[in-house]
Amino acid sequence: MTSDNLQTGLYDTHVSLGGRMVEFGGWDMPVQYPDGILAEAKAVRTAAGVFDVSHMGRLYLSGPKAGEFLDWVLTGSATTLRVGRARYCLICNENGGVIDDTIFYRLAEDRYLLIPNAGNRAAVVAWFRRWIDERFSPGCTMEDVTITTGLIALQGPGTPELIDKIADDQLSAMRTFSWAESTIQGTPIFVGRTGYTGEDGFEMLVQSNDLVSVWTALTDAGAAPCGLGARDVLRLEAGLPLHGHEIDEKTSPIEAGLDRFVRAEAEYVASDILQGQMNNGVPRKLVGFTLPGRSAPRAGYSLLDRGETIGTVTSGSYSPTLDTSIGMGYVLERYVELGAVLDLDIRGRTVTVTVTALPFYTCPRRT
Amino acid sequence: MSSPDDRKYTKEHEWVMIDASAANTAVAGITDYAQDQLGDIVYFELPNVGDNVAHLGKMGEVESVKAVSDLFSPIDGVVTEINEKLLDHPELVNEDPFGEGWLIKAIMADAAPLDSLMSAADYDAFTAGN
Distance from CA of B11 to the nearest CA of A (A): 22
Structural domains of chain A, count: 3
What local confidence, expressed as pLDDT, does residue A2 receive?
54
Contact assignment for B40 to A295 by CB distance below 8 Å: no
A265 is a domain residue = no
Q: Which of A202, A219, A237 is the C-terminal boundary of a domain?
A: A237
CB contact under 8 A, A37 and B68: no
Closest partner residue to A294 (CB to CB) among B39, B43, B61 is B43
Which residue segments constitute the domains of chain B, with CATH numbers given? 8-110 (2.40.50.100)
Residue A344 CB contacts under 8 Å (≥ 6 apart), including other chains:
A289, A291, A297, A301, A302, A303, A304, A313, A327, A350, A351, A352, A353
Average pLDDT over residues B1-6: 89
- Which residues in chain A touch residue B39, judged by CB atoms under 8 angstroms apart? 20, 32, 36-37, 229
Positions of chain A with pLDDT lower than 70, given as ranges = 1-3, 365-367
- Over residues B48-65, the mean pLDDT reads 94
Least Cα separation, residue B90 to chain A (angstroms): 10
Residues from chain B that touch A32, judged by Cβ atoms under 8 A, are 39
For residue B91, what is the nearest residue in chain A, using CA coordinates? Answer: A38
Same domain, A34 and A153: yes
Q: Based on the fold, state whether residues A221 and A164 are members of the same structural domain.
A: yes
Q: Output the pLDDT for position A365.
A: 67
Q: A241 preceded by cis ω (within 30°)? A: no
Cβ neighbours around A331 below 10 Å, total: 22
pLDDT digit string (tens) for B63-122?
999 888 999 999 999 999 999 999 889 999 999 999 999 999 999 988 888 889 999 999
pLDDT value at position A132? Answer: 98
pLDDT score recorded for residue A366: 55
CA distance A152 to A167: 14
Closest residue of chain A to B44, computed from CA coordinates? A295
What mean pLDDT is predicted for residues B47-71?
93
CA gap A172, A85 in Å, rounded: 16
Residue A206 shares a structural domain with residue A347: no
| Residue A293 DSSP code | S
**CA distances from residue B85 to A18, A159, A160, B18, B107 in whole angstroms, order as listed:** 30, 37, 40, 21, 20
pLDDT at A367: 46
- Specify if A167 maps to a domain: yes
Rounded to an integer, what distance in angstroms lies between the CA atom of residue B118 and that of residue B130? 15
A324 touches chain B (CB under 8 A): no
State whether residue B58 is helix, strand or coil.
strand
DSSP class of A74 = B
Q: What is the DSSP annotation of A215-270?
A: HHHHHHTTPEEE-HHHHHHHHHHTT---BTTTB-TTS-TTTTT-GGGS-SS---TT
Interface pTM (ipTM) of the complex?
Answer: 0.78
pLDDT confidence of B8, banded at 50, 70, 90? very high
Q: Percent of chain B beyond pLDDT 90?
A: 82
How high is the mean pLDDT of chain B? 93
- Same domain for A40 and A184? yes
Q: Which helix (H) or strand (E) holds A132?
A: none
- CB-CB: which of A20, A317, A347 is closest to B65? A317
Say what the pLDDT of residue B111 is.
85
In this prediction the pTM is 0.91
Tell me what the pLDDT averaged over chain A comes to.
Answer: 96
Contact B119, B5 (CB under 8 A): yes
Contact A37 B66 (CB under 8 A): yes
Closest partner CB to B39 (pick from A37, A294, A296): A37
**Residue A31, amino acid:** V
Q: Which domain holds residue A193?
A: 6-56+147-237
Do the domain assignments include residue A315? Answer: yes
**Are A232 and A153 contained in the same domain?**
yes
